[in-house]
Amino acid sequence: MTLRFFKTLVVMMIASALQANAISIISGPYLQNVTDSEVTIVWRTDKDALSWVEIAPDDDLHFYSEAHPRYYATDMGRAVIGKLHKVKIKKLDKNTTYRYRVVSKEVTDEQPYYVIYGRHTSTDVYGRKPLKFTTADSNTDKVNFLVVNDMHGDTAKMTDLLSNFRKGTTDFVFFNGDMVNFMDNEQQLFDGFIDRSVKLFASETPFYMARGNHESRGRFARNYMNYFPTSTGKPYYTLRRGPIFFIVLDGGEDKPDTDIEYSGTTFGDEYRAEQAEWLNEIVATDEFKQAPFKVVVTHVPPVGDTWHGPLHAKSLLLPILNKAGIDLMLCAHLHRHKYNEPGTEGAQFPVLINSNTELLKIDADSKKLNVEIIKRDGTTSKKLSYDSRVK
């Protein structure tokens, strides 16, 4: 072996070792809680890092044309350092597309008076076009979205159903609960559906979650909000997209709180009562009343079942919703299709329970809301249509 060859070999080995140790983005980024003026961007790295997002106008200039504003994840006045990165950007213009780059700078040591940084990693703005997101517009007349539920970690089925996703046309995807079997650890959540969502759409189109009873189970369930931030900071929240005002409820668990399966850890009755109180406030707002369509999204249907959770939701939430003039309730949980006309089982509005093998494709303008139920093979099994009752 010549000396020159030996030197080259050593350099290559060092470069390879450095590369192997370089920080990487291992999940995401994915968009959450997109509103008229805000977006939250979430991603994971394999090493602790300080992270930020840079945003740029969606114009013809290269991303490197100038320095762009940076938005950091902060808490109590300090940058968040860790492997999960969640950056909320506020004061954006509505109905506007922005280009973005996420950046993570490895932190190898954090002492009281100095921080030691390692290498950095980012999404690509050089080898490919930068990622983009578009803010919502509650004054726009149109919206188009998909609903999938009860995938229980079946990413192949989820991929087939989401073949109906159309970039530029589909405004967002709703995951109506039970996307995983339970929440045991972070990796399971990403393997279960988040990583696949990123591959399919979620870096540039947001998804919204309605928590299912299976996402409330397991030792990791208490971390739910870290991954799916909402406007209320709770799994129940409201959302205005186009002509639709959404109320997203968390049906909680299905059995009585004292059931042996919950081992004394479940307080669903109290939780549903808290939501009923909140719901009374929401339906009294002008924003709710004036919306052309009012749609409730809740995983566990408050009809069609005589288990404790649904019965409790029926007695507590249905009276409020019946008075509020709901146009449609979207549910899941039963793993089969069921459709209740208004006036059935105590609900004065239509209740559509989606199966675990079909997708809902919904579009609306201020006059009409249309639902198409699409099977895994791409064929349509049913179409429904509703007129706005707001004059």
Residues in contact with Fe ion by CB under 5 A are: 178, 212-213, 333
The nearer residue to Fe ion, 205 or 354, going by C-beta atoms, is 354
Report the residue number, 178 or 305, with the smaller CB distance to Fe ion.
178
The rounded distance, in Å, linking the Cα atoms of 123 and 125 is: 7
Query: Residue 64, class by beta-carbon neighbours within 10 Å (0-12 exposed, 13-18 middle, 19+ buried)?
Result: exposed
As measured in angstroms, the least distance from the Cβ of 333 to Fe ion is 4
Nearest CB to Fe ion, comparing residues 332 and 364:
332
Between the alpha carbon of residue 153 and those of residues 124, 194, 223, 253, 330, the distances in Å are 29, 10, 18, 19, 21
Task: Report in angstroms how near the CB of residue 169 gets to Fe ion at its nearest.
Answer: 29
Closest approach of Fe ion to the CB of residue 255, in Å: 12
Beta bridge partner(s), residue 386? 369
* Beta carbons of 257 and 263 less than 8 angstroms apart: no
Q: Which of 324, 275, 330 is nearest to 303 (CA)?
A: 330
Q: Which is nearer to Fe ion, 310 or 350 (CB)?
A: 310
Identity of the residue, 40 or 213, whose beta carbon is nearer to Fe ion in the bound complex: 213
Q: Smallest gap, in angstroms, from Cβ of residue 351 to Fe ion?
A: 15
List phi, psi (to 5°) of 114: -160, 155
How far is residue 84's CA from residue 80's CA, in Å, rounded to a whole number? 9
Q: Say what angle helices 308-316 and 268-283 make with each other, to 10 degrees.
A: 30
C-beta of 315: minimal distance to Fe ion in Å? 20
| Distance of closest approach, residue 300 Cβ to Fe ion, in angstroms | 6
The residue with its CB nearest to Fe ion is: 333
Antiparallel, parallel or unpaired: β 78-79 and 338-340:
unpaired
CA distance 86 to 253: 28
Q: How far is the CB of 334 from Fe ion (least distance, A)?
A: 8
The residue (of 205 and 213) whose beta carbon lies closer to Fe ion is 213
Q: What is the spatial distance between Cα 362 and Cα 370, in angstroms, rounded to a whole number?
A: 6
CA dist 294 to 9, 55, 58, 286, Å? 66, 33, 32, 12
* CA neighbor of 31 nearest in space, from 236, 170, 127, 188: 170
CB of 139 to Fe ion, least distance (A): 35
Min dist CB 214 to Fe ion, Å, is: 6
Q: Under DSSP, is residue 71 helix (H, G, I), strand (E, B) or coil?
A: strand
| Of 40 and 176, CB closest to Fe ion | 176
Quick one: tokens of 330? 């979207």
Q: Which is nearer to Fe ion, 100 or 174 (CB)?
A: 174
Amino acid making up residue 85: H
Cβ closest to Fe ion, residue 106 vs residue 178: 178
Element (H, E) at 277: helix 268-283
Query: Please, which residues bridge with residue 115 across strands?
Result: 110
| Residue partners of 286: CB distance under 8 A and separation at least 6 | none
